[in-house]
Amino acid sequence: MAKKRLEFYFEDRTGLNEKKLRKMFKDLYLFTANYLGLEGRYTLSCTVTDDSEIKRINNSYRHIDKPTDVVSFAYQDLGENIESPIKDLGEIVISIDTAQKQAKEFNHLLAREMAFLFIHGFLHLNGYDHIDEKEAEKMFELQNAVLNSFDASYSYPVLKEDVYYNFEDKEFMESLFKDVLEAQKHAYVPYSNFRVGAVVLARNGKKYFGCNIENSSYPLANCGERTAMFKAAYDGIIKNKVALLALVTDSPEELYASPCGACRQVMSELLTKTTPVVMFSKNGSFKINTVEELLPYMFTGENL
């Protein structure tokens, strides 16, 4: 394959996080170009804006009086730069407002949704379309294949605090509390009757539920936190792929649940030092510590 030279121009008109958005889209541009086997020299422009500007663009160029999630303009289709050694693919314009709505609707991170829209626009610029059912099936199959291979949710967690994992968001914390309570219902505790519920929330939005499982040979019991982490690890969700770990126990209402030492050691292996651990009390109040705060001077593979 001939060596590619990819030029990328990016503008963020939302004030969201220009530096981090630029990096994600530039990396995704290179990744998708490689995935499609493009050869030669290319240039591409990308703009992130809001619904009002997308609506204006749709009115002016598509005679559509409403905002959409993404608009793409293939300059080659307009007859521009056909003889140029550098192929100008065109421009992709993404609405942050619609992207946020759709990310919430589909229960995944904003970074993943914006990557999805970027790939969608990029495929349009390279001749893919969804005018009929057969074309749409082919395009969306390819779009999902590129997205899942790139996986913006894992590689670019930089947007998570901006949208979803805001611990000051009452709605989010209430939903998280419901999740750990649901996990707690499945606890197998015939000896202690002390129930633990835990949830690992992955950066791609998937949840892994865990509970404590006791054994008549007491040392063989497994904590709820480890159950959740092991289930997540089975799917390859470890380290930076984990957004947070949350738990609740049957401790008195005025006490926050706290992981045991064994669980903290497993956290040091499967999570990062900065992964938040949300400890709920029975009444829904919570305390948050990082893994490193729970286990300072931890023993890790770096010590071996």
Question: For residue range 247-257, what is the model confidence (pLDDT) as tens digits?
Answer: 999 998 878 88
Annotated binding residues for Zn(2+): 120, 124, 130, 223, 260, 263
Annotated binding residues for substrate: 212-218
134: β partners:
none
Question: For residue range 24-60, what is the model confidence (pLDDT) as tens digits?
Answer: 889 889 999 999 998 888 899 999 999 999 999 999 9
The strands making up 70-73's β-sheet, listed across from edge to edge, are 5-12, 41-49, 86-95, 70-73
Question: For residue range 102-122, what is the model confidence (pLDDT) as tens digits?
Answer: 887 776 677 888 899 999 999
Q: For residue 189, is pLDDT > 50?
A: yes
Would you place residue 78 in the very low, low, confident or very high pLDDT band (cuts 50, 70, 90)?
very low
Residue bearing the bigger pLDDT, 78 or 269: 269
Q: Which H/E stretch holds residue 97?
A: helix 96-105
Would you place residue 160 in the very low, low, confident or very high pLDDT band (cuts 50, 70, 90)?
very low
Q: Say what the pLDDT of residue 162 is.
A: 40
Catalytic positions, written as ranges: 225
CA angle in degrees (0–180, nearest 5) for 235-173-199: 25
List the beta strands (DSSP E) in the chain: 5-12, 41-49, 70-73, 86-95, 196-202, 207-211, 242-249, 276-280, 286-290
Residue bearing the bigger pLDDT, 203 or 126: 126
Q: Say what the pLDDT of residue 303 is.
A: 81
How high is the mean pLDDT of the chain? Answer: 86
